[in-house]
Amino acid sequence: MTDSVAELLRLPLGPVDLAAIDPRGIPGFDADKAAGKRALAELGAPLADLQERLYAESKAGGSRRILIVLQGMDTSGKGGVVRH
């Protein structure tokens, strides 16, 4: 993969044509669902650590923020993503 995840997910400047974006797309990941589950399992602990650090920083008066937009049908697992 030549592009960083940030580059793959960054919106272009100016208006965005949402109809041109594939809602099933998974930028930067071209493997099957089983490989995706394995990759997610490997990233789980580091992501949990980073989330905990961001939360702790906010409680200590830090000003960094992150916005994550989750889209999914009912019972798609959106609620399991958020802990704080």
pLDDT tens-digit readout, 6-42: 787 788 889 988 898 888 887 777 888 888 888 888 8
The rounded mean pLDDT for the chain is 82
Distance CA 36, CA 48 (A): 17
- Total domains in the chain come to 1
Q: What is the mean pLDDT of residues 35-53?
A: 87
Instruction: Give this prediction's pTM.
Output: 0.48
| pLDDT(56) > 90 | yes
User: What separation, in Å, do the N-terminal and C-terminal C-alpha atoms of the chain show?
Assistant: 32
What average pLDDT does this structure show over 58-79?
A: 82
Range of the domain at 61: 5-81
